[in-house]
Amino acid sequence: MTEPLSFDVTRLPSPHLNDSHEAWRQTVRAFVDREISPHVNEWDEAGAFPRELHKKAAAAGLIGLGFPEEYGGISDGVDVFHSLIAAEELARAGSGGLVAGLMTHGIGLPPIIALGSEELKQRIAPAVLAGDKLIALCVTEPSGGSDVANLKTKAVKKNGGYIVNGEKTFITSGRRADYLTVAVRTGSGGAGGLSFLLIEADRPGITRTPLKKMGWWMSDTASIHFDDVAVPAENLIGQENAGFAGIVANFNMERLSMAAQAVAFARVCIEDAAAWARDRQTFGKPLAKHQVIRHKFAEMTRMTNATQSYLDHCAWRVMKGESPVAELSLLKVQATRTMEFCAREAMQILGGAGFMRGCRVERIYREVRVMAIGGGSEEIMNDLAARQMGL
């Protein structure tokens, strides 16, 4: 007898996973089952999750994962697959908003670790990795997101520090964050004039406005306005006008991790649709016995299998120290298309029940667009890949 279709059955075995990965999966799964899954519906409706979850996640090792030990991170014996397992298991709760809000430091902190001074790292990283302080990444502006090289928020040198003016938008954890990692223009136009500043969110001149969204309700998303905000020189992250490298430093892990989440969401859709299809009786037999429905499961599984294999391949190359930009771009497209397809098909199988709020598939369906647009839209990803094809 074969195992019924489920989240675990749709996870292809990977040659890259060892006992420590499996043990880590059990830890994250237990954490999600105890601390997250019972509350996701409630949190999404409330538009927020408790701040203490950051501390609990830090205690379980989720927040420090992949960051250097000397700043309170966990890096000894850790590889990229531990991070992807965390992304995948967090996604199992069926809320991308939770992952985005809980793990915002995953994009906010790396520029500091990659470029920042020792003093800055010591000042910021330990409190963030302990779950005591939240940090958000501020790059996108009302005038543009993907076109990073042309962003407009200005930092002008004055009295040995900087005065910042401008506006950032679609900032994840923007209202809750204690620290903001802000991309600013310090030099001339283009990528060569960009710097990163660490700005404490309580500095005078900062106003933050919440934004309402199609999905990711429990994740706080905000516009942030900077009006003559004074920032000391020691808050400069790395060298002046060399900030673009910090922006790029995030991309590989962000795209891998989003791809891992997207496949996991697709597997959640398969699991919930399969459970429903086995149970629901129509025309005298279970939904799952109708060919038109069965083929949907074959198609969904084909897509998650292919995406998972591609994800393993890309992760393995990143683990070896490569930076396969074109592959990672295509992987992200593949993963969000898979998520989109599975969310659609699972909704068709669930029918009216899927349209009702309070189930994982309904929420995932609402979150498809942010996954396909955020962290590099499908169009930008395809273009980035095509540019490296020698066409």
- Residues near other proteins (CB under 8 A) are 1, 3-4, 8, 19-20, 22-24, 26-27, 30-31, 59-61, 65, 74, 76-78, 82
- Smallest gap from Cβ 158 to other proteins, in A, equals 44
**Alpha-carbon gap, residue 365 to 343, rounded angstroms:** 5
The CA distances from residue 226 to 180, 182, 212, 273, 334, in Å, are: 11, 10, 21, 46, 37
Residue among 326, 328, 325 nearest 336 (CA): 328
35 versus 178: smaller Cβ distance to other proteins: 35
130 versus 326: smaller Cβ distance to other proteins: 130
- Beta strand 194-200 with 281-282 is unpaired
- Smallest gap from Cβ 23 to other proteins, in A, equals 5
Which residues, 6+ apart, have CB-to-CB distance to 299 below 8 Å? Answer: 341, 345
60 versus 346: smaller Cβ distance to other proteins: 60
**Alpha-carbon gap, residue 300 to 317, rounded angstroms:** 26
- Smallest gap from Cβ 4 to other proteins, in A, equals 8
Residue among 115, 102, 119, 226 nearest 169 (CA): 226
The CA distances from residue 113 to 21, 126, 128, in Å, are: 25, 11, 12
- Smallest gap from Cβ 1 to other proteins, in A, equals 6
30 versus 46: smaller Cβ distance to other proteins: 30
Type and span of the H or E element at 225: strand 221-232
67 versus 341: smaller Cβ distance to other proteins: 67
30 versus 233: smaller Cβ distance to other proteins: 30
Please provide the DSSP assignment of 182-197 as one string.
EEEE-SSSSGGGEEEE
59 versus 211: smaller Cβ distance to other proteins: 59
- Smallest gap from Cβ 65 to other proteins, in A, equals 6
The one-letter amino acid at 75:
S
**Secondary structure class of 142 (helix, strand, coil):** coil
Cβ pair 183, 136 in contact under 8 A: no
- Smallest gap from Cβ 349 to other proteins, in A, equals 20
> Which segments of the chain are extended strands (E)?
135-138, 154-158, 161-172, 179-185, 194-200, 206-210, 221-232, 236-237, 281-282, 285-286
64 versus 376: smaller Cβ distance to other proteins: 64
33 versus 322: smaller Cβ distance to other proteins: 33
- Beta strand 179-185 with 135-138 is parallel
- Smallest gap from Cβ 16 to other proteins, in A, equals 17
DSSP 86: H
- Smallest gap from Cβ 61 to other proteins, in A, equals 4
Mark residue 151 as left, alpha or beta (left: phi above 0; alpha: psi -120 to 50; beta: remaining).
Answer: beta
- Smallest gap from Cβ 275 to other proteins, in A, equals 11
